[in-house]
Structure formats: structure tokens, C-alpha cells
Amino acid sequence: MNANVELSVAVHETAAHRYQIYRQSKNGCHFNHGASIESAEDAVEIFLATAPAFEGGGVRLWDHHESRAVASAEWNVERTRFGFMVRTRSNVFHDDSLALIARRVAERHAIVQSVVRQNGIAI
């Protein structure tokens, strides 16, 4: 019995991944999207770039080490000036360190976009 406990701990310690992105299907189930990710920075950046499987579908970032969702995409319905109803994505981070990483990613993206506009660079 003791050997099983040691084997279980050893397998958990050697797991190379920590994060996984899940997308919701139309039947409500969430399926893994892409490869597992070890780096928190990479996981947040990929999460922010991941589109839902369908309009308004859920996207979650799962932390295998903590066995919980650490980020999710929520959809709000807003009315435009022209009266059209549109969905807007709100990324909710349930972990402060990942929220900080997301802010840095957004700032970096804004800087890149500013440089692209100023220099007329096509990406």
C-alpha cells in the first residue's frame, strides 16, 4: 500500500504541465483546447487569444496543481448605438498573479499596436 502512495506522488511531481484551456461545446460540456501549458505567462496569453467554440461559449483556464479554474471568459450582452445586441467578452481571473500577467499582456499588446499604427507596419 505504501508503494502505491509513493508512486502516486511521483507521477504528480513529474507531470510536465500545469495549465489547460477548455472550451465549452454547444451541449454544455467543456473540452480541452490545445496542448497543456507549464508557464503561467504562456497560459494567460493563450487563454486571452482563445476564441470560444461558438458565439457566447465558455472558455476556461484550468490549473491542474490547484484543481480549479483560475480564469474564465464571461459574455455580456450590450446594445450598440444602432440598437443591435452584441456580446462582449469579459475575462475574469480568479488568481491575482494571473490577473497581473493579463494586464501586462494587454499593455504589451497596446504598445505593439501603437508602434504598428505610428509606423504603418502591416502585420
* Domain ranges for the chain: 17-119
pLDDT of residue 6: 43
pLDDT of residue 112: 86
Arithmetic mean of pLDDT over the chain: 86
Q: Which of 50, 77, 76, 65 is nearest to 14 (CA)?
A: 65
115/102 Cα distance (integer angstroms): 20
pLDDT of residue 123: 63
Give start and end residues of each alpha helix (H) in 1-123.
2-14, 40-49, 96-119
Q: Retrieve residue 108's grid coordinates.
A: 504589451
In three-state secondary structure terms, 67 is coil
- For the segment 69-90, the average pLDDT, to the nearest whole number, is 94
Condensed to tens digits (0 to 9), the pLDDT of residues 83-92 reads: 999 999 999 9
DSSP string, 13-33: HH----EEEEEE-TTS-EEEE
Condensed to tens digits (0 to 9), the pLDDT of residues 9-48 reads: 444 444 557 999 999 999 989 899 989 999 999 999 999 9
> Are residues 70 and 43 in contact, defined by beta-carbon separation less than 8 angstroms?
no
pLDDT of residue 84: 94
- Report the percent of the chain where pLDDT is more than 70: 85
32/45 Cα distance (integer angstroms): 16
Question: Which single residue is written with the C-alpha cell 490547484?
Answer: 66
